[in-house]
Structure formats: structure tokens, C-alpha cells
Amino acid sequence: SERDGFVSVLAYASDGQLYQLFPNTTVRQTRIRAGQTITLPPSSFPIDATGPEGTDEYLVIVSPQPRDFGAARFDTSTGLGTLSRA
């Protein structure tokens, strides 16, 4: 990152769903410092990359304050936020 901040990661997957990968119910906040490299997912929270073949698209946001995605109403019952395209 070019700046210090909090990391949020969203993924639009080939199964047609939008996932909020980070933060999630286990990894509440991930901070990064300018010029620092981080590894996602952290070893404490491995993510199984299964699903239909296709291309997944990722959006990584670094912001000065933690982002609030509450208005999106992600379903967090699996630990990750899921938003169906229905």
C-alpha cells in the first residue's frame, strides 16, 4: 500500500456472489503500513478456494478508518460476508 490503513477485501466470485473476505467474524481488522507487504489470508484463517470454474475478481481497499459494510447486509453465518445476486 502507498499509505497506512485498514484493509478490506471483497471478491465477486464465479458463483455470482459477492463475498466480504476481510474483515470477517474471525479476522476483525487487518492493518497495513505504507510500503508493507501482508499475506492474505493469514495462516490463522485459511480460506478454501472452491467453487465453479471461472474468474473471480477482487477489490482491495485500504482506508484510514475501518470500513463499515453494514448497509450491504452481508450474511455472515459462514464467517465470511456473503451477498447473493438474487
- Average pLDDT for residues 2-14, to the nearest whole number? 93
Instruction: Report pLDDT for 63.
Output: 96
Instruction: Report pLDDT for 84.
Output: 67
For residue 43, give every residue at least 6 positions away whose Cβ sits within 8 Å of its Cβ, in sequence order, or none.
none
For residue 73, give every residue at least 6 positions away whose Cβ sits within 8 Å of its Cβ, in sequence order, or none.
83
Residue-wise pLDDT for 24-54, tens only, equals: 888 888 999 999 998 888 877 777 777 778 8
Helix (H) or strand (E) segment spanning residue 80:
none
The pTM for the full model equals 0.82
Q: Round to whole Å and give the CA distance between 54 and 48.
A: 16
Instruction: Report pLDDT for 27.
Output: 85
Instruction: Report pLDDT for 60.
Output: 94
Q: How many residues does the chain have?
A: 86
> Do 67 and 85 meet the contact criterion of CB atoms below 8 Å apart?
no
